Amino acid sequence: MPLYVALVWHQHPPLYYKDPKTGVYSRPWVRVHATKDYYDMAAMLEGHHPDVRVTINLTPVLVRQLDDLAPGAKDIYWVLAEKPAEQLADDAKRFFLPRFFDANWDHINRRSPSSRGLLAQTG
């Protein structure tokens, strides 16, 4: 008797705060995952396992944020990263230092010699 299994990826970030005056989001995670995960998961399956059928569910909160980001909405990380370092105020520099390594340590930072080198420079 065959066993039928349903593979469901449920993409469900929280609704990150968007400043009503500036239109800038407080966190970068929807943008970050949109550029490396949401599309890549489906493309990898299609390229490596074309016979595997899965469901990838994008919640309305995620779709709303993606729709907002597509035409150019930004998050505070992006806004600050656009500025040349010499133009950053001290509070912006203090914002970056603890947040620069927010990425998953084992999957990203530990594997990247560049990330490890930058972290070593922070003291």
- When the pLDDT of each residue in the chain is averaged and rounded to a whole number, the result is 88
- Report the pLDDT averaged over residues 69-83: 94
**CB burial of residue 114 (10 Å; 0-12, 13-18, 19+):** exposed
What local confidence, expressed as pLDDT, does residue 97 receive? Answer: 80
pLDDT digits (tens, 9 = 90+) for 16-42: 999 999 999 999 999 988 887 888 888
The domain spans of the chain are 1-82, 84-123
pLDDT of residue 99: 83
**For residue 102, what pLDDT is reported?**
77
In SS3 terms, the chain reads as CCCCCCCEEEECCCCCCECCCCCCECCCHHHHHHHHCHHHHHHHHHHHCCCCCCEEEECHHHHHHHHHHCCCCCEHHHHHHCCCHHHCCHHHHHHHHHHCCCCCHHHHHCCCHHHHHHHHHCC
pTM of the complete model = 0.74
pLDDT at residue 75, as a whole number:
95
